[in-house]
Every structure is written in C-alpha cells, then in structure tokens.
Amino acid sequence: MTWTAKLIKHNNENRIAVYFEKNQDLIARIKQLEGARWSQQKTVWHLPDTLENRERFKIEPLANLVPSPEAITQIEKFKQWMRSKRYSESTINTYSEVLKSFLVFYREKPVASINNEDVIIYNNEYILKNKLSASYQNQTVNAIKLFFMTVRETKIEVDKIHRPKRAKLLPNVLSKEEIKLILDAHSNIKHKMMLSLIYSCGLRCGELLALQPVHIDSQRNIVLLKNAKGQKDRIVPLSPKILDMLREYYSLYKPKKYLFEGQVAGVPYDSRSLQQVLKQALHKVHLTKPATLHWLRHSYATHLLESGTDLRYIQELLGHNSSKTTEIYTHVSTKSIQQIKSPFDDL
C-alpha cells in the first residue's frame, strides 16, 4: 500500500493530509490516531500537525517548521528585550534559535499554558531522542529561563527548570614542542601571525578577529581586548617577539580597519577560514590530534601555570568571571604530576 502525506491548512489549522487509494484497513488504522478527521471538502483524511505525526508520515524535521503566529510575535519581543539589555548578537541568535525549536514543538499550545512538565517532555522527546548535546540542552534551558522571565502570564516556574548534569571534561592541551611545530608550519606570515597571537595572548577566536591595529599598544606592550566575551574589556601582555612579528606583518599587509582582514579590505578574516589555517598546519607537521583554535588558548593557560604564574593572574588574563573556571587547568598541569614516583619503580 502506497501513500503520500503533506502539510495543509484546514480551517486555519496546520494539518497533515494523508493521500492513498481507498483501503478499509488503512482507513481503520488512521481512525485510531488521535485527532484524525475526514474532510468532505478536500476528500482526504487529515491529522494534527504534531512531531509524532510528522515522524510517522515522514514529514520534514522539526528544525524546518515554523512556530505559531503567537510564538513568532513572542520571539521577536524577546529579541527586542535582549537587545535593550545589550546582549551580544551571537547570544541573541543562539537563544532565538533554540527557543524557536522549543516553541515549534508546542506550536499547538498557547505560550502562557506551557509548564515545567512540558520542558521535561521536550528534553526527553526532542533533545535526548535526537542525541543532541548537553551543551545544546544547557543553551535551551538558558533561553527558556530568560524568555519566561519576560512573559507576564505563565505557568512556568523558572527556578525549578533543571539543567543537564555538567560533564567534568578536562581541557585539551598541547605540549610546547607541539605548539612550536604548529606555529612554524606556515610560511605565510598572516597565517603564522594569527595562530601565534592566539597562543601568545590566550585569545578566543572571536577576540582575535575583532582586533584592530589601535588595540595594540606597543609602548606598554599590551593588547586591549574590546567587548570580549560577556561585554568585558580586558588587557593582556604582548610578547616582544610577537610585537616584532606584528610590525613586519603590518608593513606587508597594511590592514584598513581590522588587524586581520580577508579578501575584502575592512572586513574581518572569516573564522571558518582561520580553522582551516590551523588544520593545514596540523597536516603539514603530521599531528593527528583533533586540535582546535581553543586548544591553543587552553595550552597558553596550562603553560603559564606550569611556569609558576599565579592562578588569579591567569583568571584575569583569560577573562574568566569565576576562579572555578580557571582552576580546571590545575588538573591538566603536569609539572607536579611528573614528579610523583610510581610504586611500580620500587618493584
């Protein structure tokens, strides 16, 4: 038995229409589905447009759906609220997208009637079922909490929304020898300069690409990071060796606005292209570790700790709000661990 299914509008409702040649067995099975109805006008059986029915009849995934008109309005209001609170555009986009998926899941339900149990169901029936990460779930919780703080009438108790248990993962760190191989891999001075600056100053990728020539203070040997993560400015020390490299780079490229620009003058270098620069370096030196740009930042922090820099200073240099975030580097520092003698040596 062959059938086709598609989305339709019926009496201003989103429905799933199922088309097939007349078959009493299939009709009996469709009748058993909740909300199934026969349309005399359209001469077709149709069902509620739910996630379960979309999966049953192989309709497009949740990510391609549109929330209810009420939810669309609420998401726009939420965006305006976040902008008025000066959240970064990156955060606004992330929260809007995960919130959209949540409200699509409950598009048949008024926003004001969504409750804490619905959040648990969503976590189980969408996030866990689709094997989405704990990080994605955590972003969703952040967005839902913030969103429902701005909704006047709601059944949600924001403080009772639980988060996924945080995985205790250690940061990935490269040795100084591996770092040197990576930084020396490129003959292109721009590529070498970008990777070197990330490691030598412990920068995030976005912080590097937002740098402008005026942020390099050669008199005081510091780099000023404007509007870094969390809308915070901070300064980091600039290595004299890096300063010499920067002067050579600047005289060759003469950037217009951003320190590192792509093909178009005045436009910052693309973050995906920068990831490729690192991948090419890894390939050239035959390093098989799945290193990312953030590994360079982790390595910077760990190498500072191993050379005796106080953890409080490292916290300031990395721009961490909490010392707990910085303390994770004490678990990957090998300086003390390498001095521990294994009992195996005494056998």
Cα(157)–Cα(151) distance, integer angstroms: 12
SS3 117: helix
> Which tokens belong to 84?
């008025």
Q: Is 313 a catalytic residue?
A: no
Active site residue 136: no
Pairing outcome for strands 44-48 and 37-39: antiparallel
Q: 119: closest CA among 93, 156, 152, 147?
A: 156
Q: Which helix or strand (DSSP H or E) is residue 149 part of?
A: helix 134-149
Active site residue 249: no
Catalytic residue (one of 79, 190, 234, 320): 320
Q: What are the φ/ψ torsions at residue 272 (nearest 5 degrees)?
A: -70, -35
Whether 86 sits among the annotated catalytic residues: the reply is no
Find the farthest-apart pair of alpha carbons in the chain and give their distance in angstroms, rounded. 88
Task: Map residue 261 onto helix, strand or coil.
Answer: strand
Catalytic residue among 10, 37, 190, 204: 204
Distance CA 71, CA 79 (A): 12
- Please, which residues bridge with residue 222 across strands? 217, 237
Positive or negative, the Cα torsion across 129, 134, 140, 144? positive
Please give the single-letter amino acid code of residue 260.
F
Question: ∠ CA 209-212-218 to the nearest 5 degrees?
Answer: 120
Known catalytic residue at 229: yes
Decide if 204 is catalytic. yes
Contact indicator for 83, 92 with CB cutoff of 8 Å = yes
Which position among 294, 312, 331, 335 bears the catalytic label?
A: 294
Pairing label, strands 44-48, 3-10: unpaired
Given 54, 191, 297, 303, which residue is catalytic?
297
CA 183 to chain centre: 26
One of 249, 258, 300, 329 is an active-site residue; which one? 329
| CA distance linking residue 119 with residue 79, whole number of Å | 21
Tell me the catalytic residues: 204, 229, 294, 297, 320, 329
